């Protein structure tokens, strides 16, 4: 038996622009998802989880569709090296209403466990990140890998796409809190929508992403010197860019404005791709927001 856990994550800044090679900041949250692997006597994959009914599938007939598509993709990655079938149990502390990177957490935890199971370096974080990115992009078509980096590393990190990706541990910020808008547009749909708009006016979006990338770089510099007031200013300025991008609707605008007006809040912005999901506040906790705490540890394997 092997037990592996990984934390959920939130985007702090750099949304959208990170997909086009700009820097971003992402943080691991102290809510963990745990995967337990056990061998079977046959060549079947058995999955138990809170997200869907139990499922048993032959290893040679895995489908990358449905609620267990990330699980199936991870197992497909190593199935030729599996001597027997597997029983996989997934449990989670991650708040499902806050969208805290549960897909990234299960991908990181399961892939680390499977690589360790077959003797292929489950603790090699750089190699793990490369494989996890490939899996997510195969399923979603797009993906920066920033949330995967946070689940792997823990804490708050600067991130940029690359081969390998640039991942920079950063000091922990002041108190963070989140408020769920009450609805969510899937990230893949938002990215596709923006990609269509970008095709109509590439120069406009190129300039916007340039500005967004600079704001993320300034935020990273501020975090490294623990200048949290300037850090927050850069986050708030990034929110203006998110509105210009067209992903901050009236509900999100109001949540951001109300949070920013709360005493002790240093800054507020969308966390995630927008058109729903969450708003992030830095500093004191506004009414209706839920405090979130950074994970001090990334992926962890216990065997």
User: pLDDT, tens digit, for every residue of 220-241?
Assistant: 999 999 999 999 999 999 999 9
Q: Three-class SS of residue 17? A: helix
pLDDT by residue for the chain (303 residues), tens only, comes to 999 999 999 999 999 999 999 999 999 999 999 999 999 999 999 999 988 899 999 999 998 888 999 999 999 999 999 999 999 999 999 887 676 888 899 999 999 999 999 987 656 888 999 999 999 988 887 789 999 999 999 999 999 999 889 999 999 999 999 999 999 998 888 988 999 999 999 999 999 999 999 999 999 999 999 999 999 999 999 999 999 999 999 999 999 999 999 999 999 999 999 999 999 999 999 999 999 999 999 999 986
For residues 8 and 1, what is the distance between their CA atoms, to the nearest angstrom? Answer: 23
For residues 30 and 6, what is the distance between their CA atoms, to the nearest angstrom? Answer: 9
Q: Where are the domains of the chain?
A: 2-170+296-302, 176-292
The confidence score (pLDDT) of residue 101 equals 82
Considering the domain delimited by 176-292, tell me its CATH architecture.
2-Layer Sandwich (3.30)
Tell me whether residue 53 is exposed, middle or buried, using C-beta atoms within 10 angstroms of its C-beta: 0 to 12, 13 to 18, 19 or more.
exposed
The confidence score (pLDDT) of residue 99 equals 67
Quick one: which of 296, 230, 269 has its CA closest to 13? 269
CA angle 217–159–23, rounded 5-degree value: 35
What residues pair up with 55 in beta bridges, in sequence order? 47
User: Taking the chain, what is the end-to-end CA distance rounded to the nearest angstrom?
Assistant: 6
**Phi-psi region for residue 23, left (φ > 0), alpha (ψ -120 to 50) or beta?**
beta
Fold of 2-170+296-302: Ribosomal Protein S5; domain 2 (3.30.230)
2-170+296-302 against 176-292: fold identical = no
What are 39-92's pLDDT values in tens digits?
Answer: 999 999 999 998 889 999 999 999 888 899 999 999 999 999 999 999 999 999
Contact 85, 42 (CB under 8 A): yes
């Amino acid at each position: 038996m092997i037990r592996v856990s990984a934390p959920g994550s939130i985007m702090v800044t750099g949304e959208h622009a990170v997909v086009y090679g700009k820097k971003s900041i992402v943080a691991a949250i102290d809510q963990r998802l745990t995967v337990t692997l056990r061998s079977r006597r046959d060549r079947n994959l058995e999955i138990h989880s809170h997200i869907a009914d139990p499922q048993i599938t032959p290893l040679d007939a895995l489908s990358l569709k449905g609620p267990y598509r990330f699980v199936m993709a991870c197992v497909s990655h190593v199935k030729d090296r599996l001597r027997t079938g597997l029983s996989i149990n997934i449990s989670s502390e991650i708040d499902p209403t806050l969208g805290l990177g549960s897909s990234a957490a299960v991908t990181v935890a399961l892939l680390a466990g499977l690589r360790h199971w077959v003797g292929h370096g489950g603790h090699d974080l750089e190699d793990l990140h490369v494989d996890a990115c490939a899996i997510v992009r195969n399923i979603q078509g797009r993906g920066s890998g920033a949330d995967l980096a946070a689940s792997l590393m823990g804490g708050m990190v600067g991130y940029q796409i690359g081969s390998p990706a640039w991942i920079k541990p950063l000091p922990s910020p002041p108190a963070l809190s989140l408020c769920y808008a009450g609805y969510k547009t899937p990230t893949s749909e938002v990215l596709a929508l923006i990609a269509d708009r970008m095709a109509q006016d590439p120069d406009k979006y190129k300039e916007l992403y340039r500005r967004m990338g600079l704001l993320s770089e300034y935020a990273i510099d501020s975090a490294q010197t623990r200048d949290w007031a300037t850090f927050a200013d850069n986050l708030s300025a990034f929110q203006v860019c998110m509105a210009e991008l067209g992903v901050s609707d009236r509900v999100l605008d109001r949540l951001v404005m109300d949070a920013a007006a709360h005493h002790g809040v240093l800054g507020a912005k969308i966390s995630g791709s927008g058109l729903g999901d969450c708003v992030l506040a830095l500093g004191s906790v506004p009414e209706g927001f839920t405090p979130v705490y950074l994970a001090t540890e990334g992926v962890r394997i216990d065997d």
